[in-house]
Amino acid sequence: MSPSPLQSPTPHAAEVEAGARAGTRVDGAGDRRWRHALVTGASRGLGAALAGSLASRGCGVTLIGRDVKALGRQAEQIGERYGVVAEPITLDLSDLDAVSRWLDESDRSFDVLVNNAAMAEAGSFDSFDAGRLRDGLMVNAGAAMLLTSRLVPAMRSRGFGAVLNVVATNGRCALPWFGAYAAGKAGLWAWSEALAREAAGTGVMVTTFLPEHMDTATLRRLGRFAAGGYGVTGGGHVAEAAAQAERAIDALARGRRVEISLGSRVRIALNALWPGLIDGQVKRRWRGGRPEGSG
């Protein structure tokens, strides 16, 4: 419940925690809502849907990505549809110095950080040069760590905030050719777990979200790479990005530390407990060769 005018303007820790779990802000003025969110990888697909889901809750959004036109369109559509502030920021997340400079220059306060950006790369373990390795690891993990390290202290001092880290099944069940991508997502996943435990009791909620298979640009890119070496079969469940975004933001609002579908939990558990079963599945589909478009 909100503090009455006769109570101290500083909310009790339990009240802050309860408010954060409801996806709301709790402060001395009794203001309970997410005011503004930063969403990375927001030009299309899941990132754009996550920004839209937050905006539908009355939360302003800052969209980060590299596609100037797509970001502008998304920001315009979100602003017009939901009547919130929606600003596009073109930023290369593989350049942490550029990210730091932007953070230094920005005067906006964020209640929510969504680390969604991903760099889809595939290739044999010996095909990556130093530049590709560095860029992939920075986009898939390093930028999230930097943004969080800079934004969460202010959330913690206010006793309120939320961080959503979007991971991938590859991070816990890696496949041939996708080792570099899996390494970045595995690092993000492990770091997100540690962050959630470190932030416990501070009013800052941290949710690790594993989306189901979707038809997004990132997954289509990985699929094109896979076509060169896997016997890929059609069909199967394909989730809608908008539905996955609602699921993720709802989990964040409820204070769920991990949000993973049952099917993904089973596959990850099988890989951990009986890796030979996953090895057999890979063997039946693996043809070798070179990833399509790898040069």
Segment 25-69, tens digit of pLDDT: 433 333 458 999 999 999 999 999 999 999 999 999 999 999 999
Residue 2 within a domain: no
Residue 291 within a domain: no
Residue 294 within a domain: no
Residue 5 within a domain: no
Phi-psi region of 261 (alpha: psi -120 to 50; beta: other; left: phi over 0): beta
CA dihedral 79, 47, 145, 210 (to 10 degrees): 140
Residue 55 within a domain: yes
Q: Can you give the residue range of the structural domain that contains 181? A: 13-285
CATH code, 172 = 3.40.50.720
pLDDT tens for each residue of 57-67: 999 999 999 99
Residue 38 within a domain: yes
Give the phi and the psi of residue 286 in degrees, each rounded to 5: -80, 125
pLDDT tens for each residue of 152-166: 999 999 999 999 999
pTM for this one? 0.82
Residue 119 within a domain: yes
Residues 6+ apart with CB under 8 A from 237: 212, 213
Whether 184 contacts 140, CB under 8 Å: yes
pLDDT tens for each residue of 210-264: 998 766 666 666 666 665 555 555 555 667 889 999 999 999 999 999 999 898 8
Give the total number of structural domains in the chain. Answer: 1
Residue 193 within a domain: yes
Q: Degrees (nearest 5) of the Cα angle 108, 26, 200?
A: 90
Whether 79 contacts 85, CB under 8 Å: yes
